[in-house]
């Protein structure tokens, strides 16, 4: 850890925030032989409800970056996802997904950091400029860097110190709820289950049930607010509410016996304003937050990390200075721009297609549901006779 008495620590890149964005960027820069400081108020990331699974696309990003060997031992892979729509079995998807506890994943990545010690401390002062950036920590330690990366997630203190504003594009956009089911993975006849909401008035996007280690975990995404009676009722008796909402999967899910408190997080869709500045770049959730429902957050974070590490930071460090116009190349990067736009677009679309009651959206839902109903009927006719439910012997 840096101490005030040791004098300023000189690095090429100082990263504030050792979450998914900060830790993976520090790993890649460290592997490339860069001198990096990674600062976080906590050495051990606490176990909070955040992303708990990624799909094959996101795992491919880790593979591309050579991080999959670090990630794979920290995740539970599974396939055979039984999808229920319109109150019926719809399809068994043979695709790989990877589940994890966020805190454990981040701590595993931190433990594997190459030659980049985590500086445990709070940033008290930040000064940025076209050449050098200076951080003063609460204990008086000083870190000088050519480039400052802000990867502080939802936290506002560093953004405020620098004078950068968060813009809310959709406040209280959705709620994410996470809880353990009492049933054990070995007693489940499926790899995972995804069950979509049936009525617009339910405001339920979907429930996903999947294994993390020796537990069955559930994530449910709904378009409601924390203060609503519905949310209070769900917290008080999730089993009763789930049995009413999704009776079609109750038997497979151990009758929805819940084995932990329900964790509830409100999600706002946000972006950043006033970030084009000398010396500093904002990445991951510190730059923009999307909705967990379409599951694009980790992919967006890793695209920021990939583009910065493989394209921009090497170029920036090659030439003198670190002025705003140089850093602007990252915010204008077509790959990053497309990823942020797509994340925001699917976040809005997922809510509209679930909850909107205007004619256009009712027609879209009718069209989608008719196509799905025809697929269900077609499958039943192909199998002629009573359908064997997934998992039935
Ligand atoms: C409930 C929920 C469910 C989600 N589910 C999914 C999902 O299923 N799939 C998906 O892809 N995405 C999901 N996401 C999104 C995903 O979790 C985030 O996009 C991703 O974790 C953001 O990573 P990050 O590194 O930008 O921020 P974080 O991981 O939040 O890291 C921020 C770091 O900054 C540190 N920090 C904060 N303040 C300071 C400070 N002042 N000084 C120094 N350090 C500081 C924190 O300690 C932390 O370590 C979900 C999000 C939520 C909230």
State residue 42's pLDDT score.
96
In degrees, to the nearest 5, what angle opens at C-alpha 259 toward C-alphas 253 and 263?
100
Q: Please report the sign of the dihedral spanned by the C-alpha atoms of residue 377, residue 383, residue 385, residue 388.
A: negative
**Tell me, what's the pLDDT at 203?**
97
Centroid of ligand 1 to alpha carbon of 200 (angstroms) = 30
For ligand 1, whether the C-beta of 20 sits within 6 Å is yes
Structure tokens at 262: 């329900």
**Ligand 1 in reach of 107 Cβ (< 6 A):** no
Please identify every stretch of the chain with a pLDDT value under 70, giving residue numbers as ranges. Answer: 1-6, 384-393
Q: Atom of ligand 1 at shortest distance to CA of 49?
A: 1
Is residue 162 lining ligand 1, measured as CB closer than 6 Å?
A: no
**148 Cα–ligand 1 center, Å:** 18
Name the residue with the closest Cα to ligand 1, atom 30. 153
Judge whether 147 and 15 are in contact, CB under 8 Å.
no
Residue 117, C-beta contacts closer than 8 angstroms, at least 6 positions apart: 1, 38
Nearest-CA residue for ligand 1 atom 15 is 297
What is the token pair recorded at 158?
């560093």
- First-residue to last-residue Cα distance in the chain: 58
Question: CA–CA separation, 369 vs 339, rounded Å?
Answer: 28
Best mutation site among 20, 47, 51 for ligand 1 pocket (most ligand atoms within 8 Å of CB) = 51
116 in ligand 1 pocket by Cβ < 6 Å? no
Give the pLDDT of residue 376. Answer: 87
In eight-state DSSP terms, residue 185 is: G
Please check whether residue 322 is in contact with residue 39, taking contact to mean a CB–CB distance below 8 angstroms. no
Nearest atom of ligand 1 to the alpha carbon of 295: 9
What is the predicted pLDDT for the residue at 392? 46
**Does an H or E element contain 180, and which?**
strand 165-181
Nearest alpha carbon to residue 35 among 56, 14, 54, 18:
14
CA atoms within 13 A on the CB side of 368: 12
21 in Cβ contact with 150 (< 8 Å): no
Which residues on adjacent β-strands are paired with residue 40? 120
- For residue 342, the model assigns a pLDDT of 97
Phi first, then psi: give them for residue 268, nearest 5 degrees: -110, 140
Give the angle subtended at the CA of 304 by the CAs of 298 and 305, to the nearest 5°.
85
pLDDT tens digits for range 241-261: 999 999 999 999 999 999 999
> Ligand 1 centroid vs 106 CA: distance in angstroms?
10
Dihedral, 334, 337, 342, 344 alpha carbons, nearest 10:
-170
Q: Note the Cα 47 to chain centre separation in Å.
A: 14
Distance in angstroms (rounded) separating the CA atoms of residues 215 and 9: 44
What's the gap in Å between 163 CA and the centre of ligand 1?
21
Q: Is the CB of 149 under 6 A from ligand 1?
A: no
Helix, strand and coil percent figures for the chain, each rounded to 5: 40, 30, 30
Measure 201 CA to ligand 1 centroid, in angstroms. 30
Residue of 297, 305, 350 to test ligand 1 pocket, by largest number of atoms within 8 Å of CB: 297
Locate all alpha helices (DSSP H) within the chain, ordered by sequence.
20-31, 56-64, 68-71, 102-111, 157-162, 229-236, 238-245, 297-307, 313-318, 324-331, 334-355, 359-383
Task: Identify the bridge partners of residue 9 per DSSP, sorted by sequence position.
Answer: 143
How many angstroms separate the Cα of 67 from the Cα of each of 25, 113, 114, 165, 378? 11, 11, 12, 32, 42
pTM recorded for the entire structure: 0.94
Q: Mind giving me the DSSP string for 314-329?
A: HHHHHSS---HHHHHH
Cα–Cα distance for residue pair 173/170, rounded to 1 Å: 5
């Amino acid at each position: 850890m840096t101490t005030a008495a040791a004098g300023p620590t000189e690095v090429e890149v100082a990263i504030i925030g050792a979450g998914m964005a900060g830790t993976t960027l520090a790993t890649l820069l460290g592997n490339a032989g860069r001198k990096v400081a990674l600062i976080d108020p906590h050495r051990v990331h606490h176990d909070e409800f955040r992303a708990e699974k990624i799909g094959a696309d996101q795992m491919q990003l880790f593979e591309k970056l050579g991080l999959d060997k670090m990630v794979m031992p920290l995740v539970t892979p599974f396939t055979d996802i039984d999808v229920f729509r319109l109150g019926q079995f719809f399809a068994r998807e043979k695709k790989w997904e990877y589940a994890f506890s966020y805190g454990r994943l981040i701590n595993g990545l931190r433990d594997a950091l190459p030659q980049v010690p985590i500086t445990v401390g709070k940033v008290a002062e930040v000064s940025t400029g076209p050449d050098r950036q200076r951080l003063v920590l609460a204990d008086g330690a000083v870190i000088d860097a050519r480039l400052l990366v802000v990867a502080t997630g939802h936290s506002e203190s560093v953004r405020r110190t620098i004078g950068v504003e968060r813009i809310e594009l959709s406040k209280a956009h959705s709620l994410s709820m996470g809880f353990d089911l009492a049933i054990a993975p070995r007693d489940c006849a499926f790899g995972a289950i995804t069950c979509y909401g049936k009525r617009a008035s339910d405001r339920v996007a979907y429930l996903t049930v999947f294994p993390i280690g020796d537990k069955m975990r559930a994530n449910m995404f709904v378009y409601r607010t924390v203060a609503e009676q519905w949310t209070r009722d769900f917290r008080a008796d999730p089993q009763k509410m789930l049995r009413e909402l999704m009776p079609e999967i109750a038997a497979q899910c151990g009758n929805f016996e819940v084995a932990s408190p329900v964790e509830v997080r409100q999600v706002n869709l946000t972006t950043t304003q006033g970030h084009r500045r000398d010396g500093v770049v904002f990445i991951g959730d510190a730059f923009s937050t999307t909705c967990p429902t379409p599951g694009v957050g980790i992919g967006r974070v890793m695209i920021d990390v990939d583009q910065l590490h493989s394209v921009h930071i090497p170029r920036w460090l090659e030439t003198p200075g670190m002025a705003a116009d140089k850093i602007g190349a990252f915010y204008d990067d077509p790959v990053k721009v497309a990823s942020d736009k797509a994340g925001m677009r699917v976040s809005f679309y997922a809510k509209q297609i679930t909850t909107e009651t205007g004619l256009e959206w009712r027609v879209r839902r009718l069209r989608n549901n008719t196509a799905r109903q025809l697929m269900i009927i077609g499958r039943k006719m192909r199998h002629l006779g009573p359908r064997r439910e997934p998992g039935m012997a």
